[in-house]
């Protein structure tokens, strides 16, 4: 998969997108996904941060390398973290170039619409494929007043303008996060590039979820737009409890788990 192939999927079979942050998870996801996002959500689901704002460029590169070691077939996109690109196109290019050179990924993702259109165009003109992200932008959570739905009522024109701006700037795909369904459908129908929904519309050209949410591993909170396809966190807790009980009762290790002297 390449950015060009993803772009060409507009209007076709929906794109399957998931996050991954480690080599083992990347291998599992890659068997089924078209796009693997090394998202800055890793700050919360892997590192225990209260939001994505504390994620650094070094953290993104570390996890990007881990995902690329899986030798994925899917397109790997790495998030640019908060503070790594907002100062201007030159800063964004330096960050994106470092991410691509040090991880081997094929594209980067950044949040922002009209305000980031110039930066998107700057990167694309210099050979860096960009996946855009509009609607709810977690890196701006303090400015927008929380994780609320975007694009309702009069707010629809703002979100629409953001999507149009990054598409015109050359983004090969646009993530629509927590955007009211009618607007997400409207953007998808008008955009010449794929839209990837997360809490948006089934009409989007693809869908993405945080893999730890979808598998029931991350339990700090549960977004309403997430469908749990498994409850691996509960299964892991039960397994650890069983192990602890076996150790305390000397049921583990058993004879089959130790070695004789001959």
pLDDT digits (tens, 9 = 90+) for 98-136: 999 999 999 999 999 999 999 999 999 999 999 999 999
Q: Which pLDDT score, from 0 to 100, does residue 145 have?
A: 65
**Cα end-to-end span (Å), the chain:** 53
Angle at Cα 231 formed by Cα 225 and Cα 234, nearest 5°? Answer: 130
pLDDT at 65: 98
How far apart are alpha carbons 207 and 138 in whole angstroms?
17
Asked if the bond preceding 206 is cis, omega within 30° of 0, the reply is no
Query: Residue 34's pLDDT is what?
Result: 98
Active site residues: 177
| Predicted pLDDT of residue 11 | 96
Stretches where the chain sits below pLDDT 50 are: none
Q: What is the pTM of this model?
A: 0.94
170: left (phi over 0), alpha (psi -120 to 50) or beta: left
Least Cα distance to 86 among 56, 55, 114, 116 occurs for: 116
**pLDDT in the model for residue 149:** 84
């Amino acid at each position: 998969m390449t950015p060009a192939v993803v772009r060409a999927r507009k209007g076709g079979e929906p794109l399957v997108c998931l996050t991954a942050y480690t080599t083992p998870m990347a291998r599992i996801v890659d068997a089924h996904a078209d796009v693997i996002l090394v998202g800055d959500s890793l700050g919360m689901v892997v590192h225990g941060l209260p939001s994505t704002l504390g994620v650094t460029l070094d953290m993104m590169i570390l996890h990007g390398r881990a995902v690329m070691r899986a030798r994925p077939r899917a397109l790997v996109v790495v998030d640019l973290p908060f503070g790594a690109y907002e100062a201007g196109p030159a800063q964004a290019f330096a960050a994106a170039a470092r991410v691509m050179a040090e991880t081997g990924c094929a594209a980067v993702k950044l949040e922002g619409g009209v305000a980031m259109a110039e930066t998107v165009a700057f990167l694309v003109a210099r050979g860096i494929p960009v996946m855009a992200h509009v609607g709810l932008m977690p890196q701006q959570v303090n400015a927008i007043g929380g994780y609320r739905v975007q694009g309702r009522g009069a707010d629809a024109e703002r979100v629409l303008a953001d999507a149009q701006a990054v598409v015109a700037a050359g983004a090969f795909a646009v993530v629509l996060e927590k955007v009211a369904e009618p607007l997400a459908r409207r953007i998808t129908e008008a955009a010449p590039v794929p839209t990837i929904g997360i809490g948006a519309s089934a009409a989007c050209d693809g869908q993405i979820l945080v893999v730890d949410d979808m598998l029931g591993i991350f339990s700090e909170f549960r977004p309403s737009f997430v469908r749990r396809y498994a409850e691996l966190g509960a299964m892991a807790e039960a397994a650890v409890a069983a192990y602890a009980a076996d150790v305390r009762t000397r049921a583990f290790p058993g004879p089959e788990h130790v070695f004789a002297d001959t």
